[in-house]
Amino acid sequence: MSRQPKILLIYTGGTIGMIKDFETGALKAFDFNDLLKKIPELRLLDCEIETTGFEQPIDSSNMNPKLWVALCDIIEENYERCDGFVILHGSDTMSYTASALSFMLENLSKPVIFTGSQLPIGDLRTDAKENLITAIQIAALKKNKRSYINEVGLYFEYKLYRGNRSSKISAEHFEAFKSPNYPPLATSGVHLTIEDDKLFPTNRKKLLVHRNLKTDLLVIHLYPGIDEKLLTSTFENTDYSGVILLTFGSGNSTTVPWFTRLLKKIIQRNIPVVNITQCTWGSVQMGNYETSTTLKNIGVISGKDLTIEAAITKMMYLNSQNLSPKVFKTIFETSLRGEMS
């Protein structure tokens, strides 16, 4: 008989890891060593579950690149002996971490599935149990004796999304995440439906872990009437390795001369400037309108349909590789991990 898939459950913190003390009403951290006692339904899954996590669980608002590296370390240390990984994570920054790990874990051939919940695992109406059970089930899936999923995914409220295509869109509803510009990889209903044509093909290369990230980025959200003095001071008196512009519509910005002049100076210093849209759905298409043609002509890079989470983490990843401006532009505008169309 073939052995059961071995899944490593990694707890970082977040709402899903809390349970209510019914005597006091207070929330306290859940002991994941008692996982099978608290959620006996997990015994029905055809897999072996191990647990680990951060020594000090954190609120996901405190997630940072050092902890992304710590997650990569855990995955790399257990990569050969485990068939899949499920990361329990607070929902607020989950898409950032999923996007970052998609770039940091090159040649991934096993599933790394993020999940969490809007309500604690001990709450009467919690969404935690379904999210956890199905995320583990997805991570354990096999096809032709190999992992069915071999990328970083995010599972929430009956949908598995590509991690670097996801964004949190609600702090109130159970359906907290969406993948605006790419369809779900799987849907959980009466049956678990996997969209084979949306998945990454099987990969047999050796896992490469990229631990160096440059985090000194400027993210500028454009708005009508944005102040010249403020932007001039920010651009000229700050050290940074890249700029991400959140522009209007399909990548449009103001054409006032001072703004173009500022961007030109940045690009002439070999600092990349990337254009992504403020819109949740859709893509940057520089050159469609006069208000984006100027950006294209001075060398602004198209972020196409990247989420803000993917744009930031992709720039962190590429900025650490000492690429020439021309090579950086070419690679940034190319899909590396399925993050852009």
Among all residues, which ones are annotated catalytic? 15
Q: Which residues pair with 192 in a beta bridge?
A: 188
Give the rounded distance of the alpha carbon of 340 from its chain centre.
Answer: 13
Closest C-alpha among 302, 286, 240, 247 to residue 266: 240
Quick check: helix, strand or coil at residue 319? helix
- Contact, 155 vs 174, CB < 8 A? no
Residues linked to residue 115 through DSSP beta bridges, in sequence order = 88
* Alpha carbon distance 107, 245 (integer Å): 30
The owner of tokens 């160096």 is: 212
For residue 67, give both structure tokens. 């902890």
What Å distances lie between residue 280 and 90, 99, 173, 273, 340, CA to CA?
A: 21, 16, 17, 20, 14
Closest residue by Cα to residue 6 from 71, 80, 102, 101: 80
- CA max distance for the chain: 71
Nearest 5°: CA angle at 251, between 246 and 252? 95
**Whole-angstrom Cα distance, residue 155 to residue 162?**
9
d(CA 321, CA 317): 7
